[in-house]
Amino acid sequence: RYAELLLEIFRTRKILPLLKVPTLSFQSYTDELVSARSVKDLEGHLYIRNTTLYNSGHFAYGDDDTELLKTELKKCIDEIKLGQ
């Protein structure tokens, strides 16, 4: 399954430049599975806004980060509504 995951990562990196819709990315600073280096693939993209979560892991979110997730999601939805 690891080889399948690597193939999917490769495919995703190739299509990122085609992304034309507002997109949120959340990276847990201490993520057990996804390296913080992976955010570099998203940096500088016009439609991707990345937020680092400092009190979470890959599977569990701390209370502060849960509130941050809610705030960022609401902000994104509001921006999309204004753009329509």
Residue 28 has what pLDDT? 92
Which residues does the chain have with pLDDT short of 70? 84
**How high is the pLDDT of residue 84?**
59
Contact 49, 22 (CB under 8 A): yes
H or E segment to which residue 23 belongs: strand 23-28
pTM value is 0.78
Q: Is 21 helix (H, G, I), strand (E, B) or coil?
A: coil
pLDDT digits (tens, 9 = 90+) for 12-25: 888 988 999 889 99
| Phi, psi for residue 40 in degrees, rounded to 5 | -60, -30
CB 50 within 8 Å of CB 43: yes
pLDDT at 82: 86
